[in-house]
Structure 1
Amino acid sequence: MQESDPNTTNVTRPLIVPRPEHSLSRANISENALKVLYRLRQENFQAHLVGGGVRDLLLGHEPKDFDIATDATPEQVRQVFRNCRLIGRRFRLAHVHFGRDIIEVATFRGCGDDADPLDRRLENGMIVRDNIYGSIAEDALRRDFTINALYYDIADFSLHDYADGLADLKAGRLRLIGDPEQRYREDPARMLRAVRFACKLGFAIEPATERPLYELGSLLADIAAARLFDELIKLFHSGYGLDVFEKLRHYGLFGQLFPDTEACLAREDHDFPITFVSRGLSNTDQRIREDKPVTPAFLFAILLWEPVRQRSEQLQAEGMPAVEAILLASSAVCQRQQSLVAIPKRFSLPMREIWALQPRLEQRDGKRPYRLIAHPRFRAAYDFLVVRAAAGEADAELADWWTRFQDASGPERAKMIEGGAKRRRPRRRRGKSAASSTETAG
């Protein structure tokens, strides 16, 4: 076990587990990661597999990424590998490219409090630059969770545990290294990582690590909006988005990220908005489990739909046509959300098209269905309609009609459109008669 309190910043001596006493095998490490590890070792640098790759292999999971820690500086790594690019200003990293596969190599981080501000800088307790290098022991204490501070040494295939990570792994416990509040203030994104790992691994968050989650949510506003987008994709596109949504709301973090949506959910806690978001996220989780494609456009369309829908209905009640109302509501909601989470245009534009097509899907007469089904965003808009119908928000008959229309032959489609036209309500007249008609219907 460790020889010092893991809540301090003292350098510790690790628990070293020799190869015969642990289950991690090179046979389960990617070929490219092994190439990087062996090559660094050949150049007389330390080389360790670290973080999620070690954690997942010990749990019997297939790692998504293999990250490497070394005492070589980024510049030295680049000298060793021609296929290397250096990235990052906040954290300087080396990426070794093997086609589409990227192996991330990080230099051991140091704890030097008297470091040059050009290398390490904090603002209001948050780390905005950290390129101080140190020993492997210092690097371990700079990592976030104990289960991510496990190192696999390619020199002798042993495991090095600096913070009782193996004990926490065995107990199914998620625990921050150091003082939790300080660590969250250093990087508020750690709150989102705590939720992500708890959901992904099914681990319980240790009480001292969990307590600040209820209190420090406002710190998420200090994270760059572009970085928050990346963090949310990791949260919601990993196959457990519904669990993430529920846990974020439990800690009061969801409202910090999506205040307009949270305001709607808080008002209608037992109505279809909760069901709609839950069904939408569950649908995404299912697609990921089935290895089907998913897109951030659909995800954010689900998460932001409720404020768009409510604002659109308000505008329609004031006399604005449905299509125009939804466009105006979309613009207002997206503008507010963009300052919190920067959704790239390649996703925000399709998201808004999905919303804009919802009222048009109600128009089933003439040539409109043929034009709609040829729209490049039709399939996503249809899937969105199906989720709305399943949640009780949209007409189930409408969703069923479009399901049948897609598979129908030419003559069958013509009959369906003719039948839809017969069921179509007569248009309301403008002016006084329209107003009296509305009053009668209400």
Structure 2
Amino acid sequence: MNPKSRNQHALHIIPREQHTISRKNISKAALRVLYRLNEAGFNAYLVGGAVRDLLLGGHPKDFDVATNATPDEVKKLFRNCRLIGRRFRLAHVVYGNEIIEVATFRGTSEEQGEGDRHIVDGRIVRDNVWGTIEEDALRRDFRVNAMYYDISDFTVRDYVGGMQDLHDRVLRLIGNPDTRYREDPVRMLRAVRLAAKLDFRIDPEASAPFAELGPLLSSVAPARLFDESLKMFLTGHGRKSFRMLEQCGLLKFMFPATARALKRGDEALRSLIEQGLENTDARVSEGKSVTPAFLFAVLLWGEVRDLAHTWNAHGKDVNEAWSRAAAHVVAEQCQRVAIPRRFTITMEEIWALQPRFEQIQRKKVFRLLAHPRFRAAFDFLLLRAAESPAIGELGQWWAHAQQLPHETLAAHLPMQQHNGAAGELDSSRSSLPRKRKRRRKPAGHSGSA
């Protein structure tokens, strides 16, 4: 790889008074690492996404450091340090719950540096060749991620035109896009994720190889793609990431079942997925917990539902049809994205409970209400409202049923279900009493000023 020829930019040093980075917005742990490395005679810089986000006025959670100290030299300086990785040797300096990742400057050629690099079919499988800061900048993925904050004089060092890209709100790769994606196909996903997160556009030259090189994602470890999925969909910009992933033609390489279902023109499914992602984004922005299980259940629902209905129509028992459909879709998906078993179990339970919402019978209603996955399954049912008026009505019925006292609900439910879900739903719902509103006390008795 020789990215230098495509990124001939003179070093641009931005003085303190011309940028917005303040040490007040850098974690104390990162500052301690930077200062200690400097005091020991090494060069050390804040680098990557943290610098980019600080320049954009954001508040990064992770802080990475680049230095000319080797991993072993970093470990000697910090008792709270551990060395990790074979593919990329790194030092992690741990302060409580915070980890500062310290990377030695990567070189561009093995002859000029020390260490080892191993490339298979254009893909870097090991890279521990040390170099200079100039080489390190050229080894990074996007120009906006190749700026360095110098703690010694509070300047920002820009080697590849990253500040201009920040101003233009565009993602440009460093080097030849074809070469860089072959080195690491996940860079294609990172382009989508960063564009969605930052509200940037992807430079046409950077997005042009997606169609040809998208299949390379099948060579990436499924566990790594699971981590990338979480970054795309569970960090507050999931809906936009999904739209861009589909628009860029990469969805089918990550979630083939989802792409197939959407290609059939299922607008109700699209509405469910986008609403689910929008709800997740809202929870993240409000600081609430989110679970990958619910997200993946949403993404894969279309294929599971269609397979279950097909097998049921061919004579399979309802429960068996849903169980087989879930197992089939999960098995295919885990070949691409390794969803841990603790999440796939929850996904399968959410799916399996959906037909049970149609069983409006006293014993079955209370059994479902007591199920540990009831809340997640009910939230999923509400997302399905766009599928049909009957599903929307079903969601309203269960929402109302949950508000009633146990005895009141039981008194208005049939012991057995005779006429099928829809007919029984209509008669049962009409007979459910409305929960009485609590009478407000007169203002003078409220006890408030």
Q: TM-score, normalised by structure 2?
A: 0.89
Match of 2:406 among 405, 410, 432: 410
Report matched runs for 1:111-122 at 5 Å.
Answer: 111-114=108-111, 119-122=116-119
- When residues 418 and 207 of structure 1 are mapped into structure 2, their CA distance, relative to the original with a 3 A threshold, is same
2:362/2:416 contact within 8 Å kept = no
User: Please, which moves more after superposition, 231-240 or 399-408?
Assistant: 399-408
Matched, 1:258 2:281: no
Match of 1:329 among 317, 325, 338: 325
Query: Alpha-carbon deviations, 1:319-358, whole Å to 9, x = none?
Result: 2222221111111111111111111112111111111111
Query: CA separation in 1, counterparts of 2:41 and 2:54?
Result: 26
Matched residue of 2:82: which SS? strand
Distance apart, 1:418 and its partner CA: 3.8
User: Please, which moves more after superposition, 321-330 or 393-402?
Assistant: 393-402
Give the count of matched residue pairs: 422
Letter in 1 for 2:360: R
Distance apart, 1:11 and its partner CA: 8.7
CA RMSD across the alignment: 2.3
> 2:371 maps to which residue?
375
2:359/2:421 contact within 8 Å kept = no
> 1:436 maps to which residue?
none
Query: CA separation in 1, counterparts of 2:268 and 2:417?
Result: 29
Matched, 1:29 2:16: no
Query: Alpha-carbon deviations, 1:134-161, whole Å to 9, x = none?
Result: 1111110000000000100111111100
Query: CA separation in 2, counterparts of 1:189 and 1:170?
Result: 25
Matched residue of 1:8: which SS? helix
Matched, 1:201 2:189: no
Distance apart, 1:423 and its partner CA: 6.9
Matched residue of 2:209: which SS? helix
2:114/2:130 contact within 8 Å kept = no
- When residues 337 and 300 of structure 1 are mapped into structure 2, their CA distance, relative to the original with a 3 A threshold, is same
Match of 1:305 among 295, 301, 305: 301
Matched, 1:350 2:346: yes
Q: TM-score, normalised by structure 1?
A: 0.90
Letter in 2 for 1:151: Y
Query: CA separation in 2, counterparts of 1:115 and 1:162?
Result: 19
Report matched runs for 1:108-187 at 5 Å.
Answer: 108-114=105-111, 119-187=116-184
Report matched runs for 1:359-438 at 5 Å.
Answer: 359-392=355-388, 395-418=391-414
Distance apart, 1:285 and its partner CA: 1.6
Query: CA separation in 2, counterparts of 1:391 and 1:142?
Result: 48
- When residues 237 and 425 of structure 1 are mapped into structure 2, their CA distance, relative to the original with a 3 A threshold, is closer
Letter in 2 for 1:21: Q
User: Please, which moves more after superposition, 76-85 or 226-235?
Assistant: 76-85
Letter in 2 for 1:92: R
> 1:84 maps to which residue?
81
Matched, 1:340 2:336: yes
2:7/2:174 contact within 8 Å kept = no
Query: CA separation in 2, counterparts of 1:73 and 1:33?
Result: 18
- When residues 115 and 298 of structure 1 are mapped into structure 2, their CA distance, relative to the original with a 3 A threshold, is farther
Distance apart, 1:365 and its partner CA: 1.3
2:10/2:160 contact within 8 Å kept = no
Matched residue of 1:16: which SS? strand
1:11/1:138 contact within 8 Å kept = no
Match of 1:212 among 201, 209, 224: 209
Match of 2:219 among 222, 240, 251: 222
Letter in 2 for 1:25: S
Letter in 2 for 1:51: G
Unaligned runs of 5+ in 1: 428-442
> 2:40 maps to which residue?
43
User: Please, which moves more after superposition, 277-286 or 47-56?
Assistant: 277-286
Query: CA separation in 2, counterparts of 1:115 and 1:350?
Result: 51
Match of 1:296 among 292, 299, 302: 292
Matched residue of 2:360: which SS? coil
Query: CA separation in 2, counterparts of 1:157 and 1:118?
Result: 31
User: Please, which moves more after superposition, 49-58 or 405-414?
Assistant: 405-414
Query: Alpha-carbon deviations, 1:117-176, whole Å to 9, x = none?
Result: 982111110111111111111110000000000100111111100000001101111100
> 1:236 maps to which residue?
233
Letter in 2 for 1:107: T
Query: CA separation in 2, counterparts of 1:86 and 1:132?
Result: 16
Letter in 2 for 1:330: A
Distance apart, 1:303 and its partner CA: 0.9
Report matched runs for 1:10-25 at 5 Å.
Answer: 13-25=10-22
User: Please, which moves more after superposition, 90-99 or 369-378?
Assistant: 369-378
Letter in 2 for 1:173: V
Match of 1:280 among 276, 279, 288: 276
Query: CA separation in 1, counterparts of 2:209 and 2:277?
Result: 26
Matched residue of 2:358: which SS? coil
Query: CA separation in 2, counterparts of 1:42 and 1:394?
Result: 69
Query: Alpha-carbon deviations, 1:224-262, whole Å to 9, x = none?
Result: 111011011101112221111111111211011111221
Query: CA separation in 2, counterparts of 1:117 and 1:217?
Result: 33
Query: CA separation in 2, counterparts of 1:225 and 1:90?
Result: 17
Fraction of identical pairs, as percent: 52
Query: CA separation in 1, counterparts of 2:388 and 2:4?
Result: 50
User: Please, which moves more after superposition, 225-234 or 396-405?
Assistant: 396-405
Distance apart, 1:114 and its partner CA: 4.5
